[in-house]
Structure 1
Amino acid sequence: MDMIMSNLQQQRQINEQLRHEAAIKRMNVSKAIEDLIKYIMEHEQEDCLLVGFSSQKSNPFREKSSCSIL
Structure 2
Amino acid sequence: MSQNESWGDDKFNYGYCDFENYWGETLSHVELTHFVAGYFDVTKKLATSIKLYDIPDKSELKKYLSYYLNEIK
TM-score with structure 1 setting the length: 0.17
TM-score with structure 2 setting the length: 0.16
Larger helix proportion of the pair: 1
Larger strand proportion of the pair: 2
